[in-house]
Amino acid sequence: MMAQHTATALTNATAPTGKVHPLLVDLPPAPPALTAHAVWVLDGIEKAKEGQDENYCAFLDVVAREIRKAGDASGVLADVLAVLEKAKTPKTSCGVHSWCVETGDHYDHISACISATCTDAYGREVLPVNVIDWGMGVKVGLLDEDLTPVEARGRIADIRAHLDTVEALVADVEAGR
């Protein structure tokens, strides 16, 4: 870090008698000159604020103010990263459901979404399914419905039967009937 020097300025002081006397006063230390890296980072901070909410902009303003005080960004950014790293909550698995992909402290539970390995003619997933528990019991998201496990098994049986019928139709086509 660059050394900061205090400056002395000549100013006037008025005595109780009304006579004006020259007076030397110490001025606060001048901020250090900004390094090229600091100027580059400060420019990036200004760009990063565009379209952001008030709290995020206020945070970036604090970082920018510290960079201006230091004259360089490296130490300030290292300190910010250390604080952010310390503030991270550990990513612990869900302690309620083994299928839940949420980590840390949470109340809503959701599984990964699975779908058939093929897509339809428009590239959309076929039969996407996931499991959810939003505090009202576990539901299976299937065919755009939230089903109980028993209801989901019924729908799966219906789909299997339908696919068996489709397979029989394909067999008839292949046999030339």
pTM: 0.48
At 101-127, the pLDDT tens digits run 998 888 999 999 999 989 889 988 899
Segment 26-58, tens digit of pLDDT: 666 677 888 899 899 999 999 999 999 999 899
Element (H, E) at 12: strand 7-14
Distance CA 127, CA 118 (A): 10
> 40-69: string of b/e by CB count within 10 Å (b at 16+)?
ebbeebeeebeeeeeeebeebeebbeebee
Instruction: Tokens for 69, please give them.
Output: 């005080």
